[in-house]
Amino acid sequence: MNNKKHIVAIGRAAIDLNANEINRPMEETSTFTKYVGGSPANIMIGTAKLGLDVGMIANVSDDQHGRFITNYFEKVGVDTSQINVDEDGHKIGLTFTEIKSPKESSILMYREEVADLYIAPEQVDELYIKNSEYLLISGTALSKSPSREAVLKALLIAKKHDVKIIFELDYRPYSWKNEEETSIYYELVANQSDVVIGTRDEFDMVEHYKSKTDQEISALLFEEQPNLVVIKHGVQGSHAFDKEGNTFEGKAFKANVVKTFGAGDSYAAAFIYALVKGKTVEEALKYGAASAAIVVSSHSSSEAMPTVDKIEQLIKEQS
């Protein structure tokens, strides 16, 4: 590898089955459309569609669903050289989505013994991470072994080779044994990352952050490795803080909301794209918010990830 990848991610790749019959409960829904899902997978798809050179370290099932994911990655330009095909019969996680209204969406997860949590440390290649500018770690991958150890190995490799680490908290309660365990591993990885991104609810999963303001949480993190912290508040927008003491406010863009899920992954993809391209934090917040507005206005998450032109057009229209 002569040219470094912009970013590689480690974590879950899954299947989203989004209800075609919206404005009704799942009990009355009979048809769904299949998409690639999983937070780090969605973020890599988003950054690839924005033109970055990206790759994915993941474990997928040895069946039609695993091939569907790998084929889609290849179609949109996500490198699949580090996708491991599970040899022990573990299956892809499935997410069924319910879209009762633009403001009321929910998900039903099938996550028992899923393939993505069986990515093993020996499947993490040092050279692959070394030859990237950024490593994206997704919080759900820390919830169980051996995925947890694979992520920690990737983190240590990144630190060894001065690869910048982005930690996307991606908290999913059904993957964790208890909140205490979540708090321990989230704080451990957050303290060793360069950029930490999550919703306020996700930051509150860390015991030391629960009673703190956004600014106080950032100050605690700045005592460690991080130099940029982004805390999202949904339609209220987001706040970013840097180690130099600057505070940035990002406002949400108006959207024709179809469903509420997918916003976080699209936000992260565009925000990371802007950082990689050397844009300011203010600009990155705008890119993230605009991308989120586009995706919540669409039926899918991964398939709806926008191009740079679409993001910049929306920013121009609503500026």
Instruction: Mark 138-158 as b/e (b = at least 16 C-beta within 10 Å).
Output: bbbbbbbebbbbbbbbbbebb
What six digits make up the tokens of 3?
A: 């040219």
Which amino acid, residue 49? Answer: K
Q: Is 215 contained in some domain?
A: yes
Q: Is 83 contained in some domain?
A: no
Residue 270 is predicted with a pLDDT of: 97
Identify the CA nearest to 139 among candidates 61, 199, 217, 54: 199
Q: Number of H helices and number of E strands within the chain?
A: 10, 14
Mean pLDDT by 10 residues, the chain (319 residues): 87 95 91 96 97 98 98 98 98 93 86 97 98 98 98 98 98 94 98 98 96 97 98 93 97 87 92 98 97 89 93 94
DSSP 277: T
Instruction: Mark 61-90 as b/e (b = at least 16 C-beta within 10 Å).
Output: bbeebbebbbebbeebbbbbebbbebeeeb
H or E segment and range at residue 265: helix 263-276
Residue 1 is predicted with a pLDDT of: 45
Residue 235 is predicted with a pLDDT of: 86
Q: Is 70 contained in some domain?
A: no
* Residue at token pair 């048809």: 31
* Residue at token pair 């057009």: 313
Give the domain extent around 184: 5-12+39-63+117-318
Q: Is 27 contained in some domain?
A: no
Q: Is 268 contained in some domain?
A: yes
Q: Is 296 contained in some domain?
A: yes
Residue 248 is predicted with a pLDDT of: 98
Residue 230 is predicted with a pLDDT of: 98
Q: How far is CA 37 from CA 30, 171, 311, in A?
A: 20, 15, 21
Is the pTM value of this prediction over 0.75?
yes
Do the Cβ atoms of 12 and 140 come closer than 8 Å?
A: yes
Question: What's the CA gap between 139 and 289, in Å, rounded?
Answer: 21
Q: Is the peptide bond before 146 cis (omega within 30 degrees of 0)?
A: yes
Do the Cβ atoms of 196 and 218 come closer than 8 Å?
A: no
Residue 2 is predicted with a pLDDT of: 56
What is the CATH number for 292? 3.40.1190.20
| β 238-242/228-232 pair status | antiparallel
Q: Is 291 contained in some domain?
A: yes
Number of domains in the chain: 1
Radius of gyration of the chain (CA): 18
Q: Is 98 contained in some domain?
A: no
